[in-house]
A and B are shown apart, each in its own frame.
Chain A
Amino acid sequence: MDGVAEEYDVVVLGTGLTECVLSGILSVKGKKVLHIDRNPQYGGEMSSVNLEYLFKKYEHKFGRIASSTPWTKPGSDASDTKPWEKFPPARHWNIDLVPKLLMACGELTNILFQTGITENHEFTQIAGSFVQVGQGSSATVAKVPSTATEAATSSLVGLMEKYAAQSFMRWVGAFQENDPATHKGLNIQSATMKEVFEKFGLKDSTRDFIGHSMALHQDNAYLTQAGMIKDTVLRIRLYVNSMAQYGRSPYIYPEYGLAELPQSYARLSAIYGGTYMLNTNVDEFLWKDGKISGIKATMTDPIDKSEMLKFETKCSMILADPTYFPDKARPTRYLLRAICILNSPIPALRTDKKCNEDKNFSLQLIIPQSQIGRKNDVYVAALSPQQKVCPDGYYIATVSTISEGGSDYVNELKSGLDQVGTPVVTFMVPPVPVYEPLESGHQDKVFLSKSYDSTSHFESTTDDIQDIYFRATGEPLTVKGLREGQLAVGGK
């Protein structure tokens, strides 16, 4: 039982959420899985890490971001070689490298529930969902309205548009794809969202918050592209229904950080016989007739880096994150991120009565691109000790956007950084490539996932999980009923 088996049905490379959900489900369905990661921790690109990791890996700056002091390169702190020791110890920190949240009614929440994973974790509600109007000194940040009634009273909607916004929200509720009576006289296939907004007499700023902070579109392509009406209606409904679940925001979050979720699926896979190896490098891929047939790999000791195990095994397919096959994927864009460690809550929530009562200072703030003269939205995700990601007295805010070129990352993220106050320390993550696989995997039996994109939630990730599952097995992914038979057994 100590040796690696001669053959596996599936070898999975990388322990991000996508790979781990697939491993877990394939194991439950009886496949023999070997799951490998080159890193010493679970999570791949979406690991949750401590401060030592951030200080060792990323440029950082103490205090005001806009100050003229230069960024400190990782590992080059001359006088003070272990800056993380000035902070509470490692156990208190679970800082996400990918700033995402779960939609309460989203597909990931459904998969988590159907596979029994929700039993392993506590989830907290994110306390606020905000949108910014205007920029610079005239920027205002307001709560995103989520019902027809709220739309009518929101400061985001101009006096003249209140009735229009209310009617629009009612229309979103009534819309049915197969009932032309609910289509406002438009051809749903060929008409655009721009035409819909015009029908209701909604102006640019209202369109901005509906399209970006409720439908969660990241740019304005949805406005003029035909066939986006149904998609946009469903997105708004997902937002509104998620919001209606717990009342303060549509988002929920697993305590101790996002990387708990891949770990939980890895455990599910292991319970069903999956074999797990961290710290393991693939030395060579083995091919037969153009198809993957196996791997050669080496596992090293996490402490002394000595070689622990060298092995070769056969497999009939590989599922992997794209970093394991850089020649089979291409970067489509680059993500910019700044991770800010704060010692006071994010300004937008500081005086909020409910946040102070609950000590839950977490939010998602969306800054629509047109408000700040960009092509891509800027996101701010803030978390607090309530989410068990940082110690009491500290807060984490991550500012992110899609890079539009150039090397002035601070300037691209500026509108978001302006909303976090004065951080204790800020870490600048160098541009993260978003890879997309070049091929479907049908030919070589290597099925690659997409990188985690810049969206604030996991809806595109679950699309990818379902897509890979279908490509790899030829069957649609059904999770309903998977949790039966994996509940506790025994005992009295």
Chain B
Amino acid sequence: MAAPRSQQAGRPGSRFAQFKLVLLGESAVGKSSLVLRFVKDQFDDYRESTIGAAFLTQTIPLDENTTVKFEIWDTAGQERYKSLAPMYYRNANCAVVVYDITQSSSLDKAKAWVKELQRQANENIIIALAGNKLDLVRDSPDKRAISTADAQQYASEAGLLFFETSAKTADNVKELFTAIAKKLPLDQAGPRNLRSAGSRPGVNLRPESSSTQGAGGCQC
């Protein structure tokens, strides 16, 4: 599993760990809206897909000594035609699988994503199920297509965190991400810098290491 990025920061005893979080789910269930609400506390009814952002980041102070930083990756629209690259969720530490509580088929799609994550992603990935668009059923309860009890039961059986959320009204959004942060294996977060070769045989790619080809010099 991809080790979470962690470092000792600030005063002694304080801890700062960084985790990759991915969002999965059918088109138009509100994945990007949840991120936008969490990261920027904004909502836009007619939002187009984000262009030009590889990922967004947001930190959550867990307690006075611990800060969790999420590196939040969006699908970039690749799920629209069932063409999401597995590289997207390959080394994710946590995932939010989103469905729309007013669209019954979206929970089936969410279940398929949970299966795919359990098959292909890290074995100890933390998965949260989020039933979004809670605001729609507040006004007109008959719009609800998936009962809270049914989704809760599935989430318990599959070992997932579960929240019903509204990106529009911010209901349960912060709670969702905080619950994930609390469940992440902070203790396993060894001190490891972002791209350091350090104790592992990984390599640190840096600009000066590139393109010395043909440039006169030689380390012969």
Contact = CB atoms under 8 A, between A and B. Distances in A.
Most A Cβ at <10 Å: residue of B40, B59, B77 = B77
Interface string A164-200: 0000011011001000000000000000000000000
A312 to B, nearest CB: 16
B119 A107 contact: no
Contacts of A266: 78, 85
B211 A270 contact: no
Interface string A80-124: 000000000111000000000000111101101110101110111
Interface in A440-482: none
B149 interface: no
Interface stretch (B46-54, B160-168, B172-180): B46-54
A260 B90 contact: yes
Interface string B186-205: 00000000010100011101
A391 B86 CA distance: 18
Interface residues of B, number: 52
B213 A237 contact: yes
A241 B219 contact: yes
A271 B81 contact: no
Given A487-B54, A488-B55, A277 B81 contact: yes
B201 A125 contact: yes
Nearest to B112: A303
B147 interface: no
Contact of B54 (A89, A118, A279, A488): A488
Contacts, number: 174
B109 to A, nearest CB: 12
Given A241-B218, A245-B209, A267 B56 contact: no
Given A120-B87, A386-B201, A147 B219 contact: yes
B199 to A, nearest CB: 10
Interface residues of A, number: 76
B60 to A, nearest CB: 11
B47 to A, nearest CB: 11
A147 B197 CA distance: 23
B13 interface: no
A105 B87 contact: no
Given A276-B81, A490-B40, A271 B53 contact: yes
Interface of B: 2, 27, 39-40, 48-59, 71, 76-78, 80-83, 85-88, 90-91, 119-121, 195, 197, 201-203, 205-207, 209-214, 216-220
Given A236-B220, A260-B90, 14 more contacts: A122-B2, A124-B202, A124-B203, A147-B220, A169-B220, A172-B218, A234-B213, A244-B219, A270-B78, A358-B201, A485-B52, A488-B54, A489-B52, A489-B56
